[in-house]
Structure 1
Amino acid sequence: MSTIADINGDGINDLIIGAPSGSRVYVLFGTRTARPAAVPLANLDGTNGFEINGLENFHQLGFAASGLGDINGDGFDDMVVGSPTGELAGRCYVIFGRATPFDPVVNVLDLDGTDGFRLIGADNMGAGFTVSSAGDFNGDGLADLLVSEPYEGSHNELRGRTYVIYGTTDPVPATRNLADLSGAQVLRIDGQPDDLSGIAMAGIGDFNGDDYDDILIGAAFQNLGRSYVVYGRPSTNDEFAPPLLLGELDPLQGFEMVGEGGRFGETVSGVGDFNGDGLDDLMVGATSATGADLRTGRSYLLFGRSESFPDAILMGTLDGSDGFKLDGEIFRDKSGNSISGAGDLNGDGFDDLVIGAASALPVTDQGRSYVVYGHAGPFPSEFPLALLDGRNGYKVDGVERLDRAGSTVAGSGDLNGDGLADVVIGAADAPRFSSTGRAYVIYGTPEAIFADGMEGDNPVRQHSLDQLR
């Protein structure tokens, strides 16, 4: 689930929702017109959005999806969807934005290079397991694309590989093989043995203030867990440029973050400028980390800065000045199973973040999500999510038993055109007994929400998704 930005060029952000069990993806156009409380995705007709399909269910089309920005220079934002088991090799499908109407159904097998293209990975490497925008990584004014192959490497030492595929205004063929792209078209980034690097990855904006957008790559299965920041840089004209090695990054190329265990690096995200210092920040999740109780989950927020970072940062040493930890609430919450920047939800000038805990409320597995408001600080070294009180953020609970709300979370940009960012929470197994899945859009608001509906001293700190109207 992801914001697409503005794929149809109407000035309002749009939303992409994956349904990989059925190999379908849905694009819902943003609108300033009031919506009903429930929008059936089966009713998309090309004017309000469209469906993407064309593959058998086992291909898992929509397992990953992302908006990209404008990768082909035509003035419209584009999108990518992953199919990690497609034809064994794994495939990704890039669909170009446009002003002309979309058909109600877009078949990915019909992409011909003018409306989008296919990317084919190596056999059994999982290309498309994760996909993301890289922002403008090489500084040429076009958006770039991230694709991972987390199972790249020999059977006994899966390193993982990430591709930064550069945007271009040149015509592209309908099918592109990842192995055939030259160094002028792509930067290959290889992990260390047993990293499974690229199991999570994200564009994080300009983290170090050098005017190039940067990327974040997770490697949760390496010892205590690792994640890597790779700084954006100009692309090369060397067709045979060797891969960048994550284990050998120098301070001009990026740095490594070492976790405290708990599958640190299983989720990663940019969060925009959370502390308002003018630099973008990042977040890394550790879903099995132990906070106050077993497997409560933990997320780590690291602030961007223009000063150089050391080769490696021990994330357990964050002290509030450089970032802080956000701890889950109770046993088996696994908070941080999904994380995202949320944009500025409350209009205070600071970007906010959202954290999913799909296993929260462990007796029922309703799931819970946490919205945390950005601010200028000061910050503690650790912040328990239990302390959200309506002023510094709030909690959102799933509706029914086994909903697993918070299985995915995303900042959706501004879907209703009111000038405030919105947030989306996915409940993969809702409604109960059908597990067709639901996504809930929560609109941003500049006003605090209070228990009696009026301004006062009784802020609501916890909501349920069934209260949305």
Structure 2
Amino acid sequence: MEKHSSTKLRLYLVLLFFGLFLLAPQKAIASSSYDLSNHSNWNIRIDGDSSGSTLSSYSITSADVDNDGKNDIIVGAIPKDTLYIIYGSLLENILQNTKIIDLNVPTNYSIKLVGPSGSNFSINSKVADINNDSKNDLLIGASDTDFNSHTNSGSVYIVYNELINGYSGTGNTVDMTDSANYNIRFDGSAGSYLGFSSSTISDLDKNGKNDIIITSPLSSYTAPSSGSIYVIYDSIIDNYSNTGNNVDLGNNLFYNLRFDGSGFFESLGYFDVISVKDIDSDGAQDLIIGGPNNNDLGGVVYIIKHSIISTFGGVGNNINLNNTDNYNIRLIGGNYTKFGDGVSVDDFNGDNKLDLLIGDRSTGENNNLSGGVYVIFNNVFDYYSGTGNSINVSDTSNYNIKFIGNPQDQLPKGVVQSVDINNDGISDILFGDDYTDYNSRADSGSLFVIYNSVLSNYSGTGNNLDIANSSSYSMRYDGEFSSGKLSYVALATNDINNDGSQDILIGERNANNNSRSASGSLYIIYNFPHSISLNSISSLTKENYFIATGTVIATQSVTNIKGVQYSLDNSNFSGTWNDCSATDGTFDSTSENFNCNVSTTGLTDGSHTIRFRAYDDNISYTAISNYASASFTYDHTSPLIDWTDTTGNKKKYESTGNDNVFTLETLPTFIFTKSSDATAGLSKYQILVNDNVYIDNIDPVKPGDKDYREDDDKYIKYDGDNNILVHAKKDKDRLITGKAYKWKVRAVDSAGNSTDTTEKILRINTHEANFSHTWFPLTLLNIGGTDINFSSIAPDKIPSSLNISVTTPTFYGIAPVGSKVTLRIEKENDSNTGRDLVLNTTSSTNESSRFGINLTDKLNTKTEYFINLSAVNPQGDYVELPEFKLNVGGSGGTGILRNIEKIFKPKNVVPTSTKGVNHIVPPKAGDNVVKKHCFLWLCW
């Protein structure tokens, strides 16, 4: 019974959690109220069949009974000892014509089960798989039966699915006094009112099969009306087959555990006060039980962990809760309260630990009998170990939040629930107050919905919220009639219209519809039913944003569309959500078009998912399962590309390299290596000439049955797996002979990203590529003492061959200052099948525009060499001399050679990495230099 020493640390962690929780993205919401007398504020109304039937009081539930995947409605009319089942499929058919369902019309219900007269049959009903055949069965309470000569002993009926599904169509009436119409009937002791409320179906003994927990709130085993709760394991249930099995729980062989209340009129199990949850997170189910009428303690809630439950084996175990060894924690309300009047267990603060939600209809704030609902976080009670611990919630440090009702209202009258109403991934709170007087209707009653965002505004303990203050709740639904008593033990939630959201089922027991006094009505309010469709979204983009458009339709919603949001690569409610815009400027109706400016900043290349959700005036969001979504590929990276060259004059190509090609073809063929794009894939290639698209739409994929394709404007050949060859075929696309061009290849991926090769030069029957329009001649003046004056100014004057006698000639010439001059010498190989490279070297011109290249390795006599000389100026222009042949042998040099050799006397010889070459250092300024050179009529 001692608290752990880590109290301060735990409190710190809780406060830290709340700080983080408050930072989570949430929409601010002002509370809304809905008057159910306005038919636009509900979707379905089911009316009792006659005056005094008080339909929906105590008994509302929803589940799939007929196994068609649609949730059905199960609602009781206690004074008529009747339980109605309306299948989801029938509901859909009825709603095509009307939203009001009158149970006086047999075609408006599927099955009507009628119990013994005056038995309060249907005062409690639950739906679950009891016999473990994966089909839902019925558990129905009839608290006032008198079987076994025991007055007001009460009974609980179990009806297996096989009996229910024996009926088809509508208007079926089942007489529950006929033993053939139920499988098992458990009967209580005299005056115990077995089945009055709070039946539960769950696997308590951890064997994978459901057990049942049923109550007799006025049994008197410990003290008068102390109340009892029976636990009946599946091992007992399975002993009964077929129909008509009657089991007297006065015999201790027919139950496993019986928990008995601790004091006078405790009424253990009275109203909806049982929860079976793993509250200590040990993987086993625990019992949380309320006894709201314990006058000595002001009401009580027991936490009985599985560690206690598992100590009892076999049958007939009677467990007195007056013994402190038989419970772990007992929460008490204080003097003159009804603490424990409604119990729910859920995680309300998002720490993945279960918390408590407990009603107290007689707590005294705001004058006597105002009532209240306590929220007690796990950190308040998980400090306690062992058994017999007691927590008094009259101490404000022992609860976190308390909702306080209006004076004399007795909030919450037996039912509190928790469920995620607004689809934000955290449970919300629902409770009723059947005595509220809103809309000038006394005791019309109200249902309050409190979103978790309201709770998150408060930290620590002892926070009191007056429910009369609209900031204390998110939504309020008000009863239609004076004295209608909306929400009097009449509340359920489930997804009725199969849209993934929890809808609200709320009863008004004394509703007077159809001129029937207190016939009762069940209102069903869809939780923002809507659909989201996407109209336009990019499947592939490279941009920093794109526009997505869509439509939200919510014509069945009682609320308007308030907004639409999108999120990238986020599959749940958390994460970053971004607001979209209404196409007409404002979200204010039940049908809206929207557009979203989707930012792709920060995304990696590849496939991404964008999800969309809508929310309504109450900030209730699209259910996660119904988020609209689409996939798109983001590709912001240019494709990989590896370039080779064009074809043309093969000799000239081989002699000048890949970056500068000479050809005679005016429709040249371009060759390039295939590239790739890992994300979006390649869309096409383009050939650009002088920065303009010359050949477009070159398909990157070869046809499956051949290696080429012919388009209207081009031929494409796929050379194996690596190269593509392409050339234009129309005369209008011919390049101009005698002109040089800059060309490149562009790879374009499917997202529109592109990568260009570096530009290369293509010369159509010209030896110059002058793009800067500067004067740029190249002249070879002398080779090995032979004056020649070969110049690019007159290429046609250059002979095809030349004889010299010097075996280590020097090549002298003129080109603009700063030019790079390249000499390339080749010869035929021995097999006459190609050429061997003899020399390839580059020199620079001096400030006098002169260059000289001296061969140090001898050339062979009687051998024909191929000479190529080219120059590139600082502006990147190119010029070359036409190729000519050089034969070594014959007469010596001329006088001009002697003059040149005198001018370029090799005072400094700088060796290069090219074997057999000395680059003659040109003269410096001020040296004895002949600065004038003439060719034909032109001198410089």
**TM-score after normalising by structure 1:** 0.67
Answering whether residue 41 of structure 2 is matched by residue 117 of structure 1, we say no
Aligned residue in 1 for 2:131: 208
What secondary structure, in the 3-state scheme, does the structure 2 residue paired with 1:119 have?
strand
Aligned pairs for 1:49-448 (under 5 A) are: 104-112=32-40, 116-121=43-48, 122-152=50-80, 160-168=81-89, 170=92, 172=95, 173-182=98-107, 185-203=109-127, 205-223=128-146, 224-233=153-162, 235=165, 238-250=168-180, 253-261=182-190, 262-305=192-235, 307=238, 309=240, 311-319=245-253, 322-338=255-271, 339-362=273-296, 366-374=298-306, 375-379=309-313, 381-389=317-325, 392-399=327-334, 401-409=335-343, 411-432=344-365, 433-444=367-378, 448=382
Give the superposition deviation at 1:241. Answer: 4.9
Could you give the per-residue CA deviations for residues 185-238 of structure 1, whole angstroms, max 9, x where no partner exists? Answer: 5321110122120122233x2111011122222112112221111223565673
Counterpart CA distance in 1 for 2:266 and 2:332 is 12
Aligned length: 353
What letter matches 1:148 in structure 2? Answer: G
Give the superposition deviation at 1:176. Answer: 0.9
Work out which structure has the larger RCO, using CA pairs closer than 8 Å and 6 or more positions apart in sequence.
1
Is this contact kept in 1: 2:59–2:76, CA < 8 A?
yes
* Shift in CA distance, 376/128, structure 1 to aligned 2, threshold 3 Å: same
Greater CA deviation, 417-426 or 289-298? 417-426
What secondary structure, in the 3-state scheme, does the structure 2 residue paired with 1:386 have?
coil
* Shift in CA distance, 414/213, structure 1 to aligned 2, threshold 3 Å: farther
* Shift in CA distance, 349/132, structure 1 to aligned 2, threshold 3 Å: farther
Could you give the per-residue CA deviations for residues 22-74 of structure 1, whole angstroms, max 9, x where no partner exists? Answer: xxxxxxxxxx9749xxxxxxxxxx96696xxxxxxxxxxxxxxxxxxxxxxxx
Could you give the per-residue CA deviations for residues 304-327 of structure 1, whole angstroms, max 9, x where no partner exists? Answer: 35735261111122448x522111
Can you give the 5+ residue segments of structure 2 that lack an aligned partner in the other structure?
1-15, 20-26, 147-152, 400-460, 462-940
* Shift in CA distance, 458/378, structure 1 to aligned 2, threshold 3 Å: closer
Higher CA-based Rg: 2
Could you give the per-residue CA deviations for residues 345-376 of structure 1, whole angstroms, max 9, x where no partner exists? Answer: 111222223222222143xx611111222354
Could you give the per-residue CA deviations for residues 112-147 of structure 1, whole angstroms, max 9, x where no partner exists? Answer: 59x621110021111011233243222222222221
Is this contact kept in 2: 1:344–1:420, CA < 8 A?
no
Could you give the per-residue CA deviations for residues 358-410 of structure 1, whole angstroms, max 9, x where no partner exists? Answer: 22143xx61111122235453461111223549x53211004x222111222x
Give the superposition deviation at 1:271. Answer: 4.2
Counterpart CA distance in 2 for 1:118 and 1:124 is 17
* Shift in CA distance, 278/420, structure 1 to aligned 2, threshold 3 Å: farther
Can you give the 5+ residue segments of structure 1 that lack an aligned partner in the other structure?
1-31, 36-45, 51-103, 153-159, 451-456
Is this contact kept in 2: 1:216–1:268, CA < 8 A?
no
Could you give the per-residue CA deviations for residues 65-108 of structure 1, whole angstroms, max 9, x where no partner exists? Answer: xxxxxxxxxxxxxxxxxxxxxxxxxxxxxxxxxxxxxxx11332
What letter matches 1:366 in structure 2? Answer: G
Counterpart CA distance in 1 for 2:363 and 2:183 is 40
In terms of fraction of residues, the more helix-rich structure is 2
Counterpart CA distance in 2 for 1:334 and 1:395 is 15
Is this contact kept in 1: 2:17–2:351, CA < 8 A?
no
Counterpart CA distance in 2 for 1:180 and 1:141 is 25
What secondary structure, in the 3-state scheme, does the structure 1 residue paired with 2:37 have?
helix
What letter matches 1:222 in structure 2? Answer: T
Counterpart CA distance in 2 for 1:49 and 1:373 is 40
What secondary structure, in the 3-state scheme, does the structure 2 residue paired with 1:265 have?
coil
**TM-score after normalising by structure 2:** 0.35
* Shift in CA distance, 334/242, structure 1 to aligned 2, threshold 3 Å: same
What secondary structure, in the 3-state scheme, does the structure 1 residue paired with 2:104 have?
helix
* Shift in CA distance, 201/48, structure 1 to aligned 2, threshold 3 Å: farther
* Shift in CA distance, 231/424, structure 1 to aligned 2, threshold 3 Å: farther
Counterpart CA distance in 2 for 1:402 and 1:263 is 24
What secondary structure, in the 3-state scheme, does the structure 1 residue paired with 2:266 have?
coil
Is this contact kept in 2: 1:218–1:268, CA < 8 A?
no
Counterpart CA distance in 1 for 2:250 and 2:380 is 34
Could you give the per-residue CA deviations for residues 392-446 of structure 1, whole angstroms, max 9, x where no partner exists? Answer: 53211004x222111222x344333333444321100112533221111234579
Is this contact kept in 1: 2:286–2:305, CA < 8 A?
yes
* Shift in CA distance, 267/47, structure 1 to aligned 2, threshold 3 Å: farther
What letter matches 1:207 in structure 2? Answer: I
What letter matches 2:107 in structure 1? Answer: S
Give the superposition deviation at 1:461. Answer: 1.5
* Shift in CA distance, 458/286, structure 1 to aligned 2, threshold 3 Å: closer
Is this contact kept in 1: 2:218–2:267, CA < 8 A?
yes
What secondary structure, in the 3-state scheme, does the structure 2 residue paired with 1:179 have?
coil
What letter matches 1:151 in structure 2? Answer: P
What letter matches 1:170 in structure 2? Answer: E
Counterpart CA distance in 2 for 1:440 and 1:271 is 25
What secondary structure, in the 3-state scheme, does the structure 1 residue paired with 2:303 have?
strand
Is this contact kept in 1: 2:324–2:388, CA < 8 A?
no
Is this contact kept in 2: 1:218–1:267, CA < 8 A?
yes
Counterpart CA distance in 2 for 1:222 and 1:335 is 20
Greater CA deviation, 295-304 or 165-174? 165-174
* Shift in CA distance, 275/237, structure 1 to aligned 2, threshold 3 Å: closer
The structure 1 segments of at least 4 consecutive aligned residues displaced by more than 4 Å after TM superposition are 46-50, 233-237, 444-448, 457-460
* Shift in CA distance, 459/295, structure 1 to aligned 2, threshold 3 Å: closer
Percent identity over the alignment is: 18
What letter matches 2:68 in structure 1? Answer: D
Counterpart CA distance in 1 for 2:268 and 2:183 is 27
What secondary structure, in the 3-state scheme, does the structure 2 residue paired with 1:360 have?
coil
